Amino acid sequence: MPELPEVEAVCRKLRTVEGARIAAARVFRCASATLPRRIAGRRIHRIERRGKHILIRLDSGFTLHTHLRMSGNLYSIPNHCLHPAAARVIVELHDGRGIILEDNRALARMEAVSSEKLDQRLARQLGPEPLSEQFTVDAFVATARAARQPAKIFLMDQRRVAGLGNIYAAEALFRARIGPCRVIQGISRVRLAKLHSAIVAILNDAVQSACIAYEAPGEFAEAEAFPLAVYDREGEPCWVCGRAIRRIPQRGRSTY
């Protein structure tokens, strides 16, 4: 499921547990064994997002750090006893509610770690937030000038920009009319500026769509879904030129 927009929607919806106190936690399968004793009794201070990472700040200097990877989901339920079968972590709150990390593929990760160390680690591993003031055209161009990667690989590299994944990287390149295999270094400043604004516009729109979809799943949300111009549209006609969209492998993943 999740790239930046979906993770943002998860965070916003999860904010109803801010202020709640954790009673206990249960982990299943290979989830972190030290997690329960590190978070039991702590209060949830606030919920933040960094790239695709979800940060549940506790009052103890620890953070409940979650990454959904490919197939994870994180949400609260009114009664922690009524958890789904695919739950990997159940955080039981004092008020009876529960926070569920669900993932049938078991790729998602949740850990309780020192906030300071986590922030240092994320600062090292992640580039600027694309929806923040930090993400300027100048900074983006400077980063691109120093990289020799194909454009699509560059955009998916979390150290360059935080939060883009396979879908929105392809969509942004398409909107900016940049071939995914072109080396990012050789692209003109004007076109990089176009790519920069495409990234911001697409992510903003996708956040809106994701929030609607998470808030009220159904036909209305379906109608408001972010329209994907190229992703998963192999063989279908391009909305601009009418020719069939092609799929190529890049680094073992599909690019459209």
Partner DNA sequence: TCGATCCTGTAG
Partner DNA sequence: CTACAGGATCGA
Annotated catalytic residues are 2-3, 52, 253
Specify the residue, 24 or 221, whose C-beta has the smaller distance to DNA: 221
Q: Are 167 and 226 in contact (CB under 8 A)?
A: no
Does 253 help bind DNA (rule: CB under 7 A)?
yes
Binding DNA by CB under 7 A: which of 3, 8, 102, 171?
Answer: 3
Specify the residue, 7 or 22, whose C-beta has the smaller distance to DNA: 7
Query: And the tokens for 44?
Result: 């949830």
Residues numbered 76-95 forming contacts with DNA, rule: CB under 7 A: none
Residue 97, helix vs strand vs coil: coil
Query: And the tokens for 71?
Result: 């197939």
Does 248 help bind DNA (rule: CB under 7 A)?
no
Specify the residue, 47 or 156, whose C-beta has the smaller distance to DNA: 156
Number of Cβ within a 10 Å radius of residue 28: 14
| Span interacting with DNA, options 66-74, 76-84, 90-98, 172-180, rule CB under 7 A | 66-74
Binding DNA by CB under 7 A: which of 78, 218, 235, 252?
Answer: 252
126/121 Cα distance (integer angstroms):
9
Cα dihedral across residues 163, 129, 158, 124: positive or negative: negative
Structure-derived torsion over alpha carbons of residues 148, 122, 131, 156, reported in degrees to the nearest 10: 30
Q: Are 207 and 9 in contact (CB under 8 A)?
A: yes
Binding DNA by CB under 7 A: which of 36, 51, 98, 128?
Answer: 51
Does 125 help bind DNA (rule: CB under 7 A)?
yes
Does 127 help bind DNA (rule: CB under 7 A)?
no
Contact characters 168-207, DNA, x per CB under 7 A: ----------------------------------------
Alpha helices for the chain (secondary structure H): 4-14, 35-39, 115-125, 137-145, 151-156, 166-176, 189-215, 219-223
> Cα separations (Å) of 72 from 2, 6, 255?
8, 11, 22
User: Which residue(s) pair with 56 in the sheet?
Assistant: 47, 64
Which residue type does 87 have? A
Does 158 help bind DNA (rule: CB under 7 A)?
yes
Specify the residue, 93 or 184, whose C-beta has the smaller distance to DNA: 184
Binding DNA by CB under 7 A: which of 16, 104, 136, 204?
Answer: 104
Binding DNA by CB under 7 A: which of 27, 74, 153, 173?
Answer: 153
Binding DNA by CB under 7 A: which of 41, 48, 61, 70?
Answer: 70
Specify the residue, 218 or 252, whose C-beta has the smaller distance to DNA: 252
29/108 Cα distance (integer angstroms):
12
Which residues contact DNA (rule: CB under 7 A)? Answer: 1-3, 6, 30, 51-52, 67, 69-71, 104-107, 125, 147-149, 153, 156, 158, 165-167, 210, 232, 251-254
